[in-house]
């Protein structure tokens, strides 16, 4: 846990695989505790303090997030799943969180029409590019497709957009992105496409002229994964919350994210399950300087 960064990614992206599930390494602590108690070993109990202290240093704050102050807006991020059979119910569930911004991924043409109709009364402004969309209470300008397609993926693959939201705190760039999926194979952690897409997304954010940026999306890994470094290195530190979003039936990881630049995420929480295999996440964002 302490030295995960030295695990090489050269063979099978093992470093990224380890980092994707880093918090769960803490499960070794209670297992070792039981073994130490069964052996009645005081020495083992003393040495057990080391991994326990490392885990507490890395993730202990996530158990007690505390009060981070007021926020100006709420944003919701949700991979709605292209197999979701209840788009209207999903839209209603997201509206109940009363966000100002909603980002959706895996939009299919039939479902898109239902989302547009259900969200229109509360969100008069929206933009869709490919399979991702953004709904907003604020006017949107300069909407364009965000090219994050890896070279080997066929044309027609479109999973990113950029828009400028005209908020009371000034014009803010809003990005929505759905990075390629990863797979665990016999050869290791297959994340090449995801990593390439992350580099393209990072380059787009670096070139963004607006100071304030809100990034929402399904990145198919956690913020600890070094494969996302081209993106995470440019954004403000993450809010200290677990808020596991995938899989919905038994969440073990947060691969859905809401990040900011020149703004602050005050807290992240999951919302009730919808018809998707992901849970929606909501974040409070402070835009005021």
Q: Which domains does the chain have, with CATH numbers?
A: 4-63 (no CATH), 73-286 (3.60.10.10)
Prediction pTM value? 0.86
Residues 235-245 pLDDT 10s: 997 766 889 99
Residues 163-194 pLDDT 10s: 999 999 999 999 999 999 987 765 666 889 99
d(CA 262, CA 153): 33
What DSSP character marks residue 187?
T
Per-residue pLDDT at 21: 77
Q: Per-residue pLDDT for 118 more than 90?
A: yes
Residues 30-67 pLDDT 10s: 888 888 888 888 888 888 888 888 888 777 766 766 55
E strands, the chain, in order: 73-79, 101-105, 125-129, 132-136, 140-145, 160-167, 170-178, 183-185, 188-190, 213-218, 256-261, 264-270, 281-286
For all residues of the chain together, what is the average pLDDT?
A: 91
Contact 266, 282 (CB under 8 A): no
Return the higher-pLDDT residue of 39 and 274. Answer: 274
Strand 170-178 with 160-167, pairing: antiparallel
Cα-Cα-Cα-Cα dihedral of 33, 39, 40, 46, to 10°? Answer: -50
Residues 227-269 pLDDT 10s: 999 999 999 977 668 899 999 999 988 999 999 999 999 999 9
Polymer length in residues for the chain: 289
Ranking 1-5, 105-109, 160-164, 244-248 by mean pLDDT, the lowest is 1-5
Percent of the chain with pLDDT over 90: 67
Average pLDDT value for residue range 69-90: 96
Average pLDDT value for residue range 267-281: 96
Q: Which of 141, 93, 97, 92 is nearest to 121 (CA)?
A: 92
* Strand, coil or helix: 163: strand
Q: Per-residue pLDDT for 126 more than 80?
A: yes
The dihedral built from the CA positions of residue 203, 204, 205 and 207, taken in this order, carries a sign that is: positive
d(CA 224, CA 233): 11
Q: Where are the alpha helices (DSSP H) in the chain?
A: 14-20, 28-39, 42-63, 87-95, 109-119, 192-206, 229-232
Q: Which of 283, 226, 279 is nearest to 260 (CA)?
A: 283
The dihedral built from the CA positions of residue 114, 107, 157 and 161, taken in this order, carries a sign that is: positive
């Amino acid at each position: 846990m302490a030295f995960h960064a030295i695990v090489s990614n050269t063979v099978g992206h093992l470093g990224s695989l380890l980092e994707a599930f880093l918090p769960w390494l803490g499960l070794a602590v209670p297992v070792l505790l039981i073994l130490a108690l069964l052996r009645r070993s005081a020495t083992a109990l003393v040495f057990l303090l080391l991994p326990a202290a490392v885990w507490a240093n890395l993730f202990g704050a996530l158990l007690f997030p505390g009060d981070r102050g007021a926020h100006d807006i709420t944003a919701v991020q949700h991979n709605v799943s292209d197999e979701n059979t209840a788009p209207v119910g999903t839209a209603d569930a997201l509206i109940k969180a009363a966000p100002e911004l909603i980002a959706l991924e895996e939009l299919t043409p039939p479902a898109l029409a239902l989302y547009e109709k259900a969200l229109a009364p509360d969100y008069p402004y929206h933009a869709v590019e490919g399979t991702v969309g953004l709904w907003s209470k604020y006017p949107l300008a300069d909407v364009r497709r965000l090219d994050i397609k890896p070279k080997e993926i066929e044309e027609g693959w479109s999973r990113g957009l950029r828009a400028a939201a005209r908020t009371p705190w000034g014009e803010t760039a809003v990005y929505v992105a759905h990075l390629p999926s990863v797979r665990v194979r016999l050869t290791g952690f297959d994340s090449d496409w995801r990593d390439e897409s992350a580099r393209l997304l990072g380059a787009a954010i670096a070139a963004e002229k607006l100071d304030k940026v809100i990034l929402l999306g399904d990145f198919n890994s956690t913020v600890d994964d070094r494969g996302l470094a081209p993106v995470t290195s440019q954004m403000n530190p993450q809010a200290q919350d677990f808020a596991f979003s995938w899989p919905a039936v038994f969440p073990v990881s947060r691969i859905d994210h809401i990040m900011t630049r020149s703004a602050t995420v005050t807290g992240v929480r999951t919302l009730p399950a919808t018809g998707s295999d992901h849970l929606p996440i909501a974040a409070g964002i402070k835009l005021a300087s």
